[in-house]
């Protein structure tokens, strides 16, 4: 390799990136979960689910962008390992599905046009998808021992 | 005294088995982070509302009231998972500088609650009418809360980076 990745040479870069990554995904996944809980009938009951979704929309996107970009930088420190890591590949697949689901089906669901059952189903699928992305991330280190 | 209790704790059969399990440990860690996400977002929403940056049509008192139960449940799940993670390696955590930092920051959260509870969080009059301006004291409480919880998040992640005196008294 001709150029050394500066993120790989600094011992503090990786943990700092991880802090951004966790803060970002916590914001995004937590806010999406709050919309899901509202769809299930918990939380901000004075507002409609659509109002809650609109209120959190930009904060969710901000968290998602922070998580994705810090994630790309984390990936860049050891691309070979991640590329071959099954948990990472599963996580990326789930993440792609979760993002597409969030900005298509999930975004339409608070409109109130859907039946109660399908609204609840969408909320459940959303919660399950995003939680599985967190699990996929944690298991990267389990599948690749020694990564820490 | 405290250390000997912690060594006993980590050597309880249940925590010993948990420590050496290849898959249960990461599952609890992932559950911890899931609960942290849910709980964290509720904290951030409360603070953003106090700063006037989110849910402008809902009064801060209403936001706090609606999130109270959810916050308690979220914190309870995160704390329960956190306790199990701690108990399995109690001695290592005892020596860990970042774990100590995290616990100190939790003490900070408790002081924060004592200081601001009556004037901000349990104050139903706070900007009751959404047209009222938010008091400076409430904004200060929000900034301090964001700082404390972000510190707890970073200290929590950093715990794993300290090479512990692992296994000294593991059974």
User: What residue segments make up the domains of chain A, in order of their start?
Assistant: 12-143
Residues on chain B touching A142 (C-beta within 8 angstroms): 22-23, 26
Residues on chain B touching A140 (C-beta within 8 angstroms): none
Mean pLDDT of A117-142: 95
A43 closest CB neighbour out of B23, B27, B66: B66
The residue whose two tokens read 């559950």 is B31
Q: B170 with B110: CB under 8 angstroms? A: no
Hey, how many other C-beta atoms are within 10 angstroms of the C-beta on A44? 22
| A37 close contact with B: CB closer than 8 A | yes
| A103 close contact with B: CB closer than 8 A | no
Structure-token pair, residue B34: 């899931």
CA gap A29, B8 in Å, rounded: 37
Structure-token pair, residue A91: 């996580």
What rounded mean pLDDT belongs to chain B? 90
User: What residue segments make up the domains of chain B, in order of their start?
Assistant: 2-161
> Above 50 in pLDDT, residue A148?
no
Handedness of CA B69, B70, B74, B75 (dihedral sign): negative
Q: Can you give the pLDDT at residue A145?
A: 55
Residues on chain A touching B48 (C-beta within 8 angstroms): 59
CA gap A43, A35 in Å, rounded: 9
| B166 close contact with A: CB closer than 8 A | no
Q: What percent of chain A has pLDDT over 90?
A: 68
* Secondary structure in 3-state letters for chain B: CHHHHHHHHHCCHHHHHHHHCCCHHHHHHHHHHHHHHHHHHHHHHHHHHHHCCCCCCCCHHHHHHHHHHHHHHHHHHHHHHHHHHHHHCHHHHHHCHHHHHHHHHHHHHHHHHHHHHHHHHCCCCCCCCCCCCCCHHHHHHHHHHHHHHHHHHHHHHHHHHCCCCCCCCCC
* Among the listed residues B5, B107, B54, the one whose alpha carbon sits nearest the alpha carbon of residue A34: B54
B30 closest CB neighbour out of A25, A26, A138: A138
Where does the pLDDT of residue B167 fall: very low under 50, low under 70, confident under 90, or very high at 90 and above?
low
pLDDT tens column, A70-114? 999 999 998 989 999 999 999 999 999 999 999 998 888 777 778
Asked if B33 lies within 8 A of A15 by C-beta distance, the reply is no
Mean pLDDT of A133-143: 94
Asked if B33 lies within 8 A of A134 by C-beta distance, the reply is yes
Asked if B30 lies within 8 A of A31 by C-beta distance, the reply is no
* pTM listed for this prediction: 0.92
> Above 80 in pLDDT, residue B99?
yes
Q: Can you give the pLDDT at residue B121?
A: 86
């Amino acid at each position: 390799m001709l150029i050394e990745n500066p993120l790989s040479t600094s011992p503090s870069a990786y943990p700092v990136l991880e802090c951004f990554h966790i803060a970002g995904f916590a914001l995004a996944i937590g806010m999406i979960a709050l919309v899901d809980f509202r769809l299930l009938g918990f939380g901000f009951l004075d507002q409609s689910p659509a109002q809650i979704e609109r209120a959190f929309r930009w904060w969710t996107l901000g968290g998602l962008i922070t998580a994705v970009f810090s994630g790309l930088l984390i990936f860049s420190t050891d691309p070979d390992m991640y590329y071959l890591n099954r948990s990472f590949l599963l996580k990326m697949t789930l993440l792609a599905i979760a993002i597409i689901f969030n900005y298509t089906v999930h975004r339409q669901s608070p409109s109130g046009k859907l039946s109660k059952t399908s609204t609840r189903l969408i909320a459940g699928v959303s919660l399950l998808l995003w939680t599985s992305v967190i699990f996929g991330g944690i298991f990267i280190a389990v599948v690749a021992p020694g990564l820490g | 005294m405290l250390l000997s209790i912690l060594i006993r704790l980590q050597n309880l059969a249940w925590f010993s088995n948990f420590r050496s399990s290849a898959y249960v440990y990461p599952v609890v860690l992932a559950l911890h982070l899931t609960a942290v996400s849910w709980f964290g977002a509720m904290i951030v929403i409360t603070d953003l509302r106090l700063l006037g940056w989110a849910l402008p049509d809902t009064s801060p008192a209403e936001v706090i009231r609606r999130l109270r139960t959810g916050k308690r449940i979220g914190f309870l799940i995160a704390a329960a998972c956190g306790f199990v993670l701690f108990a399995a390696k109690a001695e290592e955590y005892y020596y860990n500088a970042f774990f100590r930092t995290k616990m100190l920051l939790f003490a900070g959260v408790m002081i924060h609650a004592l200081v601001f509870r009556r004037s901000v969080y349990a104050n139903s009059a706070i900007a009751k009418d959404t047209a009222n301006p938010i008091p400076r004291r409430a904004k200060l409480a929000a900034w301090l809360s964001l700082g404390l919880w972000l510190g707890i998040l970073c200290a929590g992640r950093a715990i794993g980076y300290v090479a512990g005196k692992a296994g000294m008294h593991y059974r």
